[in-house]
Amino acid sequence: MHATPDREAAERRAAGRDLAEALNWLLPFHFFYEKAGLDLPDFRFLPGEEVLYPYRSMLVHSNDMTPTLAAFHHSKLYLEVHEHESSDAFVMRLVTLHAAASDVPVEFGAIAIQLSGLPEEMQSEVIAGGKPLGALLGEFGVEHYGSPAAYFSVPADERIAKALGQRPGEVLYGRCNQLLDREGIVFADIVEILPRSNESETWVQHPSGR
What confidence score (pLDDT) does residue 197 get?
66
Between the alpha carbon of residue 207 and those of residues 61, 85, 136, 157, 210, the distances in Å are 9, 32, 20, 28, 6
Note the pLDDT tens digit of each residue in 122-177: 999 999 999 999 999 999 999 999 999 999 999 999 999 999 999 999 999 999 99
Indicate whether 203 pLDDT > 60: no
Report the C-alpha gap between 122 and 132 in whole angstroms.
12
Residue 135 covered by a domain: yes
Angle at 187 between CA 185 and CA 189, to 5 degrees: 115
For the chain, the average pLDDT equals: 85
Q: How confident is the model at residue 183 (pLDDT cuts 50, 70, 90)?
A: very high
Note the pLDDT tens digit of each residue in 59-111: 999 888 888 888 888 899 999 999 999 999 999 999 999 999 999 999 999 99
Indicate whether 50 pLDDT > 50: yes
Residue 98 covered by a domain: yes
Report the C-alpha gap between 81 and 73 in whole angstroms.
20
What confidence score (pLDDT) does residue 67 get?
84
Q: Give buried/exposed letters for 119-136 (b at 16+ CB in 10 A, else e).
A: eeebbebbeebebbbbbb
What confidence score (pLDDT) does residue 18 get?
61
Count of domains in the chain? 1
Residue 153 covered by a domain: yes
CATH (domain of 175): 3.40.1410.10
Residue 208 covered by a domain: no
What confidence score (pLDDT) does residue 38 get?
95
Residue 175 covered by a domain: yes
Q: What residues contact residue 163 under an 8 Å CB cut-off, 6+ apart?
A: 82, 96, 105, 108
Rounded to an integer, the average pLDDT of 36-42 is 95
Q: What percent of the chain has pLDDT over 70?
A: 84
Indicate whether 22 pLDDT > 80: no
Indicate whether 17 pLDDT > 90: no
Other Cβ atoms less than 10 A from the Cβ of 18: the count is 11
Q: What range does the domain containing 96 cover?
A: 5-201
Residue 76 covered by a domain: yes
Q: What is the pTM of this model?
A: 0.83
Residue 207 covered by a domain: no
Q: For 29, how many CA atoms within 13 A lie in the half-sphere containing its CB? A: 25
Residue 206 covered by a domain: no
What confidence score (pLDDT) does residue 66 get?
83
Please choose, from the candidates 110, 132, 108, the residue with its C-alpha nearest in 3D space to the C-alpha of residue 195.
Answer: 108
Note the pLDDT tens digit of each residue in 186-199: 999 999 999 986 54
| Cβ 94 vs Cβ 83: under 8 Å | yes
Phi and psi for 27 in degrees, rounded to 5? -65, 140
